[in-house]
Structure 1
Amino acid sequence: MRSNHVLVIPSPSQGHVIPLMDAAQRFARKGLKVTFVNTEHTHKRVINACSQKDYLSDMMQMVAIPDGMEPWEDRNDIGQLTETMFRIIAWDGSQKLHIKGIKTIIVLAGQTGVMAVFNELPVNDQMFQLSTNMPPMDPNQFLWACMGDPVTRKKMFAIGLEGTVAAGAADCIICNSAVELEPETFTLFPKILPIGPLLENNGKTKQTGHFWNEDSSCVTWLDQQPFCSVIYVAFGSLTMINQHQFEELALGLDLINRPFLWVVRPGMSGSIDHIYPNGFMDRIGTRGKIVSWAPQQEVLNHPSVACFMSHCGWNSTMEGVSNGVPFLCWPHSFDQFLDATYICDFWKTGLRLNKDDTGIVTREEIKNKVEQLFRNDKIKQNALNLKERVKEGNSSSKNLRNFVDWVKKGQDNAPENNNSQTSS
């Protein structure tokens, strides 16, 4: 008799831990026993931020392993952390390969089309397009090109290539997406099984895997705001903003004169906390709410939220799509530029915030784009339509059932992708 046991090992970053935790909970609810493995550092942060342990299923246990770094080394160095983590996983994996029956499953936490970058590497820095139904790609905005220094960029490029090789050898690849969102991608990559959007507020479980404690007081504040009036501002777990840009953003929110909920994450400016413009806190009064971390699912599902000013990380993108919320797109790195292109040019559910010649998104640009979005009923309707199309398509639910059945039965052939019947 098979044990139906799944070992889940995310990359040690919040953008990977949260969606894989959501996927693991879904596996557990469908009868798979799950062991979720974090690094010791990440494990402590997740457990400390999870105030109610009963969010975790009886079918799921959490364990910790070393990340390969010394206590004094900087775990904000993504290149170094990922490289050492890969060495740990590779060593453990080499031992597990001797166990009969172990299958390897790759989970893509980011935008699915990014995988094409490593399968179709460009020979120069010119824009290119894999298909007329996919966004154009700029090599200068690829994962490795967005990292801060040449050493880190080289590490990330090598890690990306290793990941592509691993994906090619995997028994199955699953991802946090839906065929209704990017049908052409799944035509080009039929081996990938979309089971998303994950992280949707379906009421079955509360989101776990956060590195910071959620401030639920913002939900009470939202309850007091008018319908569809609040600008929600959040830039994920890794985005860094310098003091000048921080001030422009604050002054832009001040100029708009509308209610806003702003997540100012600890460490968003590095080792020194941001300083708000003179008189800013007094001027905004109760019109603005600032928190260090928010329960984003609940926020985006709240009727008072009108739009989402976002870095366009894929998790945030999927949460916004699942709740039918229009976007104000402010991509910073990784796959966020491609995500913003989907939002603005393909789904037409948001507007871009553009930088000036000095690389700053000015207060005037913020004010103008917010006002444009509030006047644009077409974008609002597109966002609601996309939410319903993903919900009604139901292809991901079928894919998830097929995946769980495949694991339980121990079949050799990977589950089929239910995407042939869907068009954009």
Structure 2
Amino acid sequence: MEKKNQMKGATELTHLRVLVLPFPIQGHINPMLQFAKRLLSKGLTVTLLTPTSSAHNLIKPNPNSTSKSLHIQPIDDSFPPGTKPGVTAEYFNQFRAGITKSLTDLIRHDISATTTTTTTTTKPLPKFLVYDCFMTWALDVARESGIDAAPFFTQSCAVNAVYNDFKEAEVKGGDEGVSLPWKGLLSWNDLPSLVHETTVYGVLREFLMDQYYNVGEAKCVLANSFDELENQVMNWMPSQWRIKNIGPTVPSMFLDKRLEDDKDYGLTLFKPQAVTCLTWLDSKQPSSVIYVSFGSLASLSGEQMTELARGLQMSCDHFLWVVRDLEKLKLPESFKEETSDKGLVVSWSPQLEVLAHKSMGCFMTHCGWNSTLEALSLGVPMVAMPQWTDQPTNAKFITDVWQVGIRVEVNEEGIVTREEISKCINEIMEGEKGKDIKKNSEKWRDLAIAAMNEGGSSDKNIGEFIALLASN
């Protein structure tokens, strides 16, 4: 009877149609797609809007995943298919102009079509837009077109707070670092690189700071985190924004297992070498492999690639290293042949399946937020090697707040040496500190699962978001 009542409630929500609009990079598509699936599981009608420049590149690795019932609709961003997002004012301005026109036309057309026909096959009236935090202007576009909207932040609440504090000039800095209202003192080394390296990033820095100019106007702000993970920030942030944590946005079968067949994100811009990776991992002992990946955007210098390669070679364990095709030329000559007995280098991996594998011992990561949440959700200890943007702040929390990893130290030339890399890996895999880190990793895994499970903090927040839509 209870299940029938749940199904009845879900059916009654199908008139609530939500449009979900991610920025066309993998790290933003994944979490917003997973949130769309959660809304689908609650009975809402959801349309994922994919900018046309990237839509043709999206691969569906598992046609039987829960995303099969998601309506995916291309939206013209004015760029030719295959255009990669740029970091110039020209790109951002053209993208904004293209999406603004297309989004306005789409919403008004669907509203008009719904209100002028009585057929039962018509899509429900668009009710709400969930837009990527990079698209602050989408709030105004939605409201001017007749619906309301909320931003979706794909980075941590701590990073959001840092950016917002700097934008509002609510920080006091000194030689040791900066004092923040919600955290106390953070060293310059712990802050997002775009905050203090003001002359390096130019347009990108301005673009990221602009994420917050109208966030206080939104009736709801969605964030890919969970309350227990960032409790200190969450004690302060609700006084600033109407924020709801709805994460971690990891496929359900790796967390609460409430969404059947939700085993992957469902859409990807990269083709993983799944069989190669998993077959190789199957041949290794439990907790014996170091997984190394720096995401879809980070690019190491040739010198740093050499030091990383030699550090893995010096370490005591097997390694699986993701090196994108454009980065492979930076590998030392004969490295793959020299390490064929202990290592595997691939261009892309099925990261969730890799992290969940029994052979996994630790994850050497750039500390991108999606990778950080995946490791936390699966209880995998981390070696933190942040590169830029939000990654130094994520690394600070990984090592000092959640205590689930070790951060490498850079030398005076800004390089992490092979000796440092080998030392940190061996400490995680075999040292005394590594034992405590593994226990903490298991604790945070359990808390992440609880947050997404029925009655958990993020599950409740998703329910409150749906109630907000139903009340309008």
In the superposition, the TM-score normalised over structure 1's length comes to: 0.86
Tell me, yes or no, if the aligned pair for 2:46 and 2:71 is still in contact at 8 Å.
yes
Tell whether the 8 Å contact from 1:11 to 1:82 is kept in structure 2 after alignment: no
Task: Mark the runs of 5 or more structure 2 residues left unpaired by the alignment.
Answer: 1-11, 105-137
Show the counterpart of 2:391. 336
Give the drift of 1:275. Answer: 4.1
Q: Distance in 1 between matches of 2:299 and 2:347?
A: 14
CA contact (8 A) 1:254 1:284 kept: yes
Alignment partner, residue 143 of structure 2: 97
For residues 255-404 of structure 1, the aligned pairs below 5 Å read: 255-267=314-326, 269=327, 273-374=328-429, 375=431, 376-393=434-451, 394-404=456-466
Contact 1:33-1:59 at 8 Å conserved across structures = no
Going from structure 1 to structure 2, the CA distance change for 1:169 and 1:288 (only over 3 Å counts) comes to same
Pick which of 109-118 and 344-353 moved more.
109-118
Decide which structure has the larger Cα Rg and report it.
Answer: 2
* Stretch of structure 1 that moved more, 124-133 or 287-296: 124-133
Structure 2 counterpart of 1:110 = 155
Return 5+ residue gaps in structure 1 as ranges. 412-424
Deviation at 1:365, TM superposition (A): 0.7
Change in 2 beyond 3 A, CA 1:140/1:37 = same
- CA–CA separation in structure 1 for the residues paired with 2:173 and 2:184: 18
1:410 corresponds to which letter in structure 2?
S
Matching residue's letter, 1:165: Y
Distance in 2, Cα, partners of 1:34 & 1:90: 20
SS of 1:53's equivalent in the other structure is coil
Once the two structures are superposed, the pairs formed by residues 163-178 of structure 1 within 5 Å of their partners are: 163-178=211-226
Whether 2:292 is the aligned partner of 1:233: answer: yes
8 Å CA contact retained: 2:87, 2:204: no
Q: CA deviation at 1:149?
A: 6.8
> Which residue pairs with 1:9 in the alignment?
21
In 2, Cα distance between equivalents of 1:78 and 1:24 = 29
**Structure 1 residues 146 and 257 mapped into 2: Cα distance closer, same or farther (>3 Å)?**
farther
| 1:120 equivalent in structure 2 | 165
Q: Which residue type is aligned with residue 107 of structure 1?
A: F
Tell me which residue corresponds to 1:129.
Answer: 179
Corresponding letter in the other structure for 1:210? T
In structure 2, C-alpha distance between the alignment counterparts of 1:382 and 1:135, rounded to whole Å: 24
Tell me: CA distance 1:299–1:43, structure 2 relative to 1, closer, same or farther (3 Å).
Answer: same
Cα deviation, 1:241-261, whole Å, max 9, x if unaligned, reads 122111111111111131111
Task: Quote how far apart the aligned CAs of 1:396 are.
Answer: 1.0
Look up the match of 1:215. Answer: 273
Is residue 37–residue 65 contact of structure 1 (8 Å, CA) maintained in 2? yes
Q: Deviations over 1:214-233 (max 9, x none)?
A: 11120121111101110000
The one-letter code matched in structure 2 to 1:209 is: L
Q: Which amino acid is 1:13 matched to?
A: I
Deviation at 1:11, TM superposition (A): 1.3
Residues 23-61 of structure 1: CA deviation (Å, up to 9, x unaligned): 111111211111111221221121xx2233333545421
Q: Distance in 2 between matches of 1:89 and 1:188?
A: 34
**Correspondence list, 1:18-37, <5 A:** 18-37=30-49
**SS of equivalent to 2:47:** strand
Displacement after TM superposition at 1:410 (Å): 3.1
Count residues in correspondence: 401
Superposed displacement of residue 124, structure 1: 7.0
Give the counterpart letter for 2:471 in structure 1.
G
Q: What SS does the aligned partner of 2:56 have?
A: helix
Does residue 62 (structure 1) correspond to residue 113 (structure 2)? The answer is no
Contact 2:224/2:249, CA 8 A, preserved across alignment: yes
Q: Which residue of 1 aligns with 2:248?
A: 197
Identity, % of aligned pairs? 30
Alignment partners' CA distance in 2, 1:182 and 1:96: 30
Q: Which has the higher contact order (CA 8 A, sep 6+)?
A: 1
Q: Aligned AA for 2:291? A: Y
Instruction: Please report the TM-score for the alignment, with normalisation by the length of structure 2.
Output: 0.78
- Distance in 2 of aligned mates of 1:355 and 1:139: 11
Using a 3 Å threshold, how does the CA distance of structure 1 residues 71 and 196 change in structure 2: closer, same or farther? closer
